[in-house]
Amino acid sequence: TQLLEQSPQFLSIQEGENLTVYCNSSSVFSSLQWYRQEPGEGPVLLVTVVTGGEVKKLKRLTFQFGDARKDSSLHITAAQPGDTGLYLCAGLGSNYKLTFGKGTLLTVNP
Partner 1 sequence: DSGVTQTPKHLITATGQRVTLRCSPRSGDLSVYWYQQSLDQGLQFLIQYYNGEERAKGNILERFSAQQFPDLHSELNLSSLELGDSALYFCASSVYAGGPGEQFFGPGTRLTVL
Residues interacting with partner 1, by CB under 8 A? 30-31, 33, 40-45, 48, 50, 88, 90, 92, 95-103
- Cα 45–Cα 89–Cα 51 angle in degrees, nearest 5: 85
Minimum CB distance to partner 1 smaller for 19 or for 92 = 92
Minimum CB distance to partner 1 smaller for 29 or for 79 = 29
Least distance (Å) from partner 1 to the CB of residue 22?
A: 16
Nearest distance from residue 101's CB to partner 1, in Å? Answer: 7
Residues 85 and 37: beta-carbon distance below 8 Å:
yes
CB-wise, 18 or 107, nearer to partner 1? Answer: 107
